Amino acid sequence: MSANPFFETWTTPFEMPPFDKVETGHFREAYDAALAAHKAEIAAIVNDPAPPDFDNTIAAMELSGEALKRVGSVFRNLAGTESDEALRAVEREVSPLLARHFSAIYLDPALFARVDAVFAGRAQAGYSPEQLRLVERKRKGFVREGARLAEAERKRLAAITEELATLGVRFSQNVLKDEAGYVLVLETEEDLAGLPADFRAAAAALATERGHEGKWAVSLSRGNVEAFLTHSTRRDLRETLFRQWAMRGEGGGDSDNAAVMARTLALRAERARLLGYETYADFKLDDTMAENADAVRALLDQVWQAGRVRASKEVERLQAMIEAEGGNFQLAPHDWRHYAEKLRRAEYSIDDAELRAYFPLDRMIEAAFHVAGELFGLTFEEQKGLPLYNPDVRIFEAKDAQGRHVALFIGDYFARASKRGGAWMSAFRGQQKLGRDQRPIIVNVLNVARPPEGETALLTIDEARTLFHEFGHALHGMLSDVTYPSLAGTAVSADFVELPSQLYEHWLLRPEVLRRFARHAQTGEQIPDALIEKVMAARTFNQGFATVEYCASAFVDLEMHLEQGEGAQDPLGFERRVLEKIGMPAEIIMRHRSPHFLHIFSGEGYASGYYSYLWSEVLDADAFAAFEEIGDVFHAETAGRLRDFIYAAGNLRDPKEAYVAFRGRLPTPDALLDKRGLA
C-alpha cells in the first residue's frame, strides 16, 4: 500500500481529493487517526480553564474535526458510487465507530455544560444574528441527542445510536446487493419487442459488460426499469422485471431487510421515548417546518384525496384501452407505464422515443448551467486533468459574474454496478468562512443508462427533470455564503431542503430554455414549437398515478414511525395495513416499498420525513409563481432575493422566516394542486 494521502497536504488544483492515490486500505488507518485527533480537540475545549464563551466553545467546536470531515466525505461518496466488497467491509467497520464517537461528544456532560452556559448568556453577549442562530442550533442539537438525560439513559441512547448506524449500513448494502446482482437477460428478437433502438443498444452493451455476449440485459436501475416497462410489449417480461424491482430487499435470503426494518423501528421508538417523545415521528417532526404529525397528515390527506380521484379516472381510461386492443386482463402495476405511454401518444401525439431524441444528456447539462447563469450570474468551465474516482466523472469550475471562483461541481451521471440506485447531491467539501474562505466541492450522482461507445445518452423528461432537481440541490451547496459550517449549504430543515431542488425543476420546461437546448441528438435541429406545445399540454398527464405512488410512500413512512410496536413486529404486514386503510389502488404500488426504502432506512435523514418532498412542493409551486406573476422567469430582483434568502443563506434563519423574506408571505397548497392538475 502506498503512503496514505489523508496524512498529506493536498496540492492538487482546488485542493481536490487525490483520487488517483486513494486506496481502500487507507480509509481505516485515516479514520483511526482522525477520530483520535478529533477526540483530542474536543478534550481541549472541555478542559479549557477559561469561562465558556462563543469563541472557545462554539467556534472551537466548529473548527474541530477537519481531518475527520476530509476522510469521511471522500469515503461516504465512494461508498455510494464505487462500492465493492472491500469498501463495504470498511463501511461496516467504521459506521458503529463513528456513531459511538459522536454520541460520546453529544453526551459529554462537561461539554454540554459549556454549550449550555454560552446559550444561557446569549442575550447579554451581543452576538451577531448568525452567531446567535448557531448557538441556539448547537444547543438544540445537544438536547436532541440526549445531553440532558441521566447517566444510565445516556449509555442506553449511545448503544441505540451505534446499533442504528450498523443497521442503516446493512439495509443499504442489502439493497445494493439485490440491485447489482440481477439483470433480466433478453435472449431473442421477440424479447426485444417494442424497445427503441437506443435502448436495445444500451441493453446489448450492458449484457456484454455482465458476461452475456450477444444478448441484451436490463438492470434494476430505475431509469432502465421504467424505460423497459414503458416500451416493452412483452407483458410477461414486464411482469418478471417489475417483480424483481418491487421485491428488492425482500428476497428471503441474506439480503432480506425485514429483520433490519423491524429492529430499526423498535430502536427508533425506544430512542424517542428516552428523549421524552411519545413516538419517533413526534421526535423528528419537532424540528421541522411542519412541527407535528397533524400538519403533515392534513397536507397528505388533501393531496391524496385529489390524487386518488384523478388516478381512478386514469385507471378507467387505461383499462378501456386494454379492452379496445382485445386484452383479456385487468390493468396491473407492471402494465401502467406501458399503457399510459400509449394513451399519452394518442392524446397528445407525443412519442417517447421521438421526444428523447431532443434531450441529449450533454445539452441538458448545458441547460442547467445556463439557467444558473441567468438567475445567479454563474458560469461553468469544464476542468481536464484533475484526478477522478471514475473515468465517467466530469468536473466543472463555477465562477460568479466577476469571474471569481465559487465552487467545483462534479457530475457522475451513468449507472454502473458499483453505484447505488437513485440520484443525489453530496459534497466532498462544504463551504465556510471560519478560519479561511473555503469554497465547496459538490457532486451530483445520477443513474442514466450508458449508451454504446460513441453514441449520445438520451434522457426521458423525467430523467431531465431529475438532472435539474439534483442541480438545484448542488446550487444550494455551491452558492452557500455563511460563516459557520454547521449552518452552511443544505444543513437546513428536512422539509425545507427540497425547495431549492424542486423549484429548479420549473425552468426545464420553459419554452425559452427548451428552444435553446432541446436539440435533436443527430441533426442538431431545435425542438419544434408544436412539440413544445404538446409537452406543455401534457404536463399534468398521469398526475393521479404520480401523486398516489408518492403519497402512499409518505403515509407508510409516517405511520410506521407514529406507532409503538405493531410496525416493528411485522413491517411488511404493517405496510399492507396502511395501504388498505388509505385505499391504495390495486393498479399502483408505492414509489418506494419499505424493504428498499433507502430514504428512511439507510439513515435517519428522511425517516418520518418523506412527506417533505410534498411540503417543499407547496413552497416551490408558490415560489415559481413569484416569477410568473412578474412575467419574467429570470427576473433579476426576484432571483436576487431567491439567492440571498434561499440558495445562499444556509440555515441562517428559521425556514418560515427565510421563505417570507423571499416571498413576503407563507404559501397555501393551492399552487401545488394547480401545478399537478388536481385543483
Catalytic site positions: 470
Q: ∠ at Cα 632 (628, 634), nearest 5°?
A: 110
* Three-state secondary-structure class, residue 664: coil
Beta bridge partners of 394: 411
Q: Which DSSP helix (H) or strand (E) runs through 101?
A: helix 85-106
Do the strands 405-414 and 394-399 form a parallel or antiparallel pair, or are they unpaired?
antiparallel
Which of 146, 272, 144, 163 lies closest to 565, judged by CA? 272
Q: ∠ at Cα 107 (650, 262), nearest 5°?
A: 85
- The helix-helix angle for 85-106 and 24-46 (nearest 10°) equals 0
The x, y and z cell numbers of residue 173, run together, are 448494502
Q: Which long-range contacts (CB under 8 A, 24 or more apart) does 222-229 make?
A: 222/421, 222/422, 222/447, 223/415, 223/447, 223/448, 223/449, 223/460, 223/463, 224/415, 224/449, 226/337, 226/460, 226/462, 227/199, 227/449, 227/460, 228/184, 228/195, 228/199, 229/334, 229/336, 229/337, 229/338
Using the 8-state DSSP alphabet, how is residue 519 labeled? B
Which of 1, 276, 325, 333 lies closest to 147, judged by CA? 276
Q: How far apart are CA 438 and CA 485, in angstroms?
A: 10
Do the strands 441-448 and 405-414 form a parallel or antiparallel pair, or are they unpaired?
parallel
The x, y and z cell numbers of residue 122, run together, are 446569549
Q: How far apart are CA 585 and CA 549, in angstroms?
A: 10
